[in-house]
Structure 1
């Protein structure tokens, strides 16, 4: 029976996966070679070991009993949620985030696995609740799961990893039939919260002159007055909604005012949790030259590297930006910059195509899934992969803020590679089990 099922495994996804991992190992090696040809890093060897371990996990996950995935989802989420909280007490601090736990050279980043666990538990919760997801009450539990997962990761603080939970959440709910006005509320809330969070620093760093509007974020009297004013607006809107005939007018008044108030209050919490360097990463997205030798350095060097690659690139091991060590984090967050410098536009398109194969074949599996759980699970994992891809490549090109998100399968790192390969294993599992009755 298992042999017959294995014949139905999606070979296209596996080949694309092997291609991406091979490219990753190649450029991790390239990032560890100096301009004089000296190999000063063994990261590529570690990546090969993690890839082998990941392949074993992928096969194991693909062959596990499908029904066990649903029954284990709650326990898996609790395990990695607690591990993320544990990092706040005994975790290692790397690049400003206390996100790793382990002994000696062995360690994991639990937040990477929490993303998979979050997708599993949300898919389990959503199954059979399509009708409930169309009401605001039906979204309470999913939102609480989102707040718990994102909140735990933000406390590390790891803004990049926390951001990934949001598109995953929205995509799964949209696939589950949730109303767009509720999803738009969550999306607009997130955008406004980030915008309000960076406004004070934006005034100081970029405008460098007083903007009266920004007083609503620093003057206590104006802050209190703003909260009271918006709260009164909500009360008036609710009163009109329940007592008068023009309900939709008052509905949208309450909708807009509550959105504004929620984002406004949350921005104070975000500024309290995030470090100054993380706020600066958002600031330099607007203008990297405001801190060109500090927070803006990575973006500037990355754009130079990608632009200098041209159509065919400078050739493997011939990229000056990488081998002269101008580009920090070149084996992790900015590995696409090295790839584009040495392989050019053709190399970048190759990565796009390999990712596209995984995404389109994965969507086919989601549509053919045997049950709702399998469909939600696949959509969630695909959205996670796509989010990493778009955000990472966007930040290397200077069109998205630097958030420290790796390019899955290609960037150096054991936890992100293993969690991504587990995700692929889950997708293949859903694909195989569409033939089981």
Structure 2
């Protein structure tokens, strides 16, 4: 039964910041898609609908004690692995990637579900294996295996961006749990060596993305077109921007994928440095609030959940922003709450719901 006292501890400030970012994303979508002629429902209305669904999910998550997730962690992990295997076997293929299960009324993307499930699973493992000393290489074998299985299946789809996010989430949570210095140095050296050897395992288009990242001007009308146009858009915004719906890169259709992966480039062109500073400050608030929720959590499991969700949001933000300004290869990672996409919105709102759940139950009743 829901305890009314929990409402007094509900983190309204965190929810407000989330809604402000989502509102800026919808406003950005309105400007980007205003000239698009289509009989279908406008993108910004679809985004509002997904946000509404996300808020309902947040309400449902907050009504159930997050501690119950600890007992569901490994069954959820097993179901997620099964779904990822099913994607490879009978999944829907689009633009050369097999990432969706067609359920008729909806296309499910299990790789997005894997982000949330790996947070719950790693939180469960590290909670049950609490120890005073840092984890050694042998002690990290099981969490490494838990992380490797979904990552490998996601890479097979192929979906390099989501695989990177899953690895980053698990790595951040393991680092928070405590890793010995020697073990950390060994893992870093192994990772660097693996990155070199992993080049030969990448698909041709993934190799092309990395080569384009190193030299986008080498193919300005082909592989380098996206990132070149994105950097032009960001730079042309200057300090104060060109104004709402006045960006040449977006309004004249020079910038591809401007409603999804490169939504920030549009915002930077229209609102300039100061607008970007406000948006980044809002994202920083979410990250700091997530860490605060983990710090004040009632138990170790709640702390790890908050750290995992914060890591998921943080790495999405860092990779997307690094991607659109040319500091990282283009890997198709959306900006949370801001880029258009129902699956991304739902995954993010599940994470927000978990943060709010941990925060409102920081006092034991």
Q: Alpha-carbon deviation of 1:419?
A: 0.8
Q: Which of 211, 236, 252 is equivalent to 1:308?
A: 236
1:290 aligns with 2:291: no
Partner of 2:179: 178
- Structure 1, unaligned runs of 5 or more: 197-263
Q: Alpha-carbon deviation of 1:109?
A: 1.6
Q: 1:141-152 residue pairs with structure 2 within 5 A? A: 141-152=142-153
**In 2, distance between residues paired with 1:390 and 1:46?**
26
Larger radius of gyration: 1
Q: 1:386-397 residue pairs with structure 2 within 5 A? A: 386-397=314-325
Partner of 1:212: none
**TM-score scaled to structure 1, two decimals?**
0.79
**In 1, distance between residues paired with 2:267 and 2:191?**
32
1:126 aligns with 2:55: no
1:301-359 CA deviation, whole Å, 9 max, x = no partner? 00000001111211111111112211111111111000101111122112111111111
1:196-229 CA deviation, whole Å, 9 max, x = no partner? 2xxxxxxxxxxxxxxxxxxxxxxxxxxxxxxxxx
Q: 1:256-271 residue pairs with structure 2 within 5 A? A: 264=197, 267=198, 271=200
| Secondary structure in 1 matching 2:98 | strand
1:30 aligns with 2:31: yes
Q: Relative to structure 1, is the Cα distance of residues 397 and 122 closer, same or farther in structure 2, using a 3 angstrom cutoff?
A: same
Q: Relative to structure 1, is the Cα distance of residues 103 and 43 closer, same or farther in structure 2, using a 3 angstrom cutoff?
A: farther
Contact 1:130 1:177 in 2 (8 A): no
Partner of 2:101: 101
Q: Which of 192, 207, 227 is equivalent to 1:299?
A: 227
1:418 aligns with 2:346: yes
Partner of 2:265: 337
| Secondary structure in 2 matching 1:66 | coil
Q: Alpha-carbon deviation of 1:38?
A: 5.4
**TM-score scaled to structure 2, two decimals?**
0.94
Q: Alpha-carbon deviation of 1:284?
A: 1.1
Partner of 1:75: 75
Q: Relative to structure 1, is the Cα distance of residues 96 and 23 closer, same or farther in structure 2, using a 3 angstrom cutoff?
A: farther
Q: 1:129-168 residue pairs with structure 2 within 5 A? A: 129-131=129-131, 134-168=135-169
| Secondary structure in 1 matching 2:25 | helix
Structural RMSD (CA):
1.9
Q: Alpha-carbon deviation of 1:431?
A: 0.9
Partner of 1:111: 111
Partner of 1:432: 360
The farther-off stretch of 24-33 and 185-194 is 185-194
Partner of 2:190: 189
Partner of 1:398: 326
- Structure 2, unaligned runs of 5 or more: none
Q: Name the count of aligned residue pairs.
A: 362
Q: 1:346-361 residue pairs with structure 2 within 5 A? A: 346-361=274-289
Contact 2:114 2:166 in 1 (8 A): no
Contact 1:32 1:39 in 2 (8 A): no
**In 1, distance between residues paired with 2:212 and 2:193?**
18
Q: Relative to structure 1, is the Cα distance of residues 341 and 290 closer, same or farther in structure 2, using a 3 angstrom cutoff?
A: same
